[in-house]
Chains A and B, each alone.
Chain A
Amino acid sequence: DQQVKQNSPSLSVQEGRISILNCDYTNSMFDYFLWYKKYPAEGPTFLISISSIKDKNEDGRFTVFLNKSAKHLSLHIVPSQPGDSAVYFCAASARNTGTASKLTFGTGTRLQVTL
């Protein structure tokens, strides 16, 4: 039972254009959502997060949108750069249920930014 789903295993975008990565979740107890970026042979690195009390969070070129009614979030990268090429993982947590730092990850989307 995949509680966090990233239905697009890969995405190719031209440099300078917008990249939109999508994530769906099923567990209504999730109240905190994160995006991680992962390069080959490295650990995941934090990119941006959003609490369920918000519907948008922005950090430079990265914006995360949360639609709680649809149990859907998306990561927008504008403009996309070649260095953004990596695997992006969506993760979720139920922080208010006393489950500490347990994260549930999606399967990842491989983003390729082409010149």
Chain B
Amino acid sequence: NAGVTQTPKFQVLKTGQSMTLQCAQDMNHEYMSWYRQDPGMGLRLIHYSVGAGITDQGEVPNGYNVSRSTTEDFPLRLLSAAPSQTSVYFCASSEQGWSGNTIYFGEGSWLTVV
């Protein structure tokens, strides 16, 4: 998981609270993305970015907001947390012309919404 740093690792939120999951990479990668993993399901794409200033929705974007003001950072915002957003969140980055071994995942952020 070298090069992709996620914070915080664990967080408990109350319903309706807002928070930001941080993701930073130091590999100058153009592509960054956020996934969530739920029991019995694979990782599902929330939002992704192909470069600074450019973001797009993935498979499950509702309830989440992203921005990409710099190449290094790709924060994921929960504006009003809901119990359905209890999940493990993974950030990933990769370079243009990526192959399997050039996609890097962070270690994950465990979020519980009560």
Contacts and interface: CB of A to CB of B under 8 A. Distances in A.
A78 interface: no
Interface string B5-21: 00000000000000000
A107 B108 contact: no
B98 A103 contact: no
Contacts, number: 65
A43 B58 contact: no
Given A101-B103, A102-B33, A43 B1 contact: yes
Interface residues of B, number: 27
Interface residues on A, range: 20 to 34
Interface of A: 4, 6, 9, 32, 34, 41-46, 48-49, 89, 91, 100-108
Contacts of A34: 100, 103
Nearest to A51: B99
Nearest to B96: A100
14 contacts: A34-B103, A43-B1, A45-B105, A48-B100, A89-B43, A101-B48, A101-B92, A101-B103, A102-B33, A103-B92, A104-B45, A105-B42, A105-B43, A107-B40
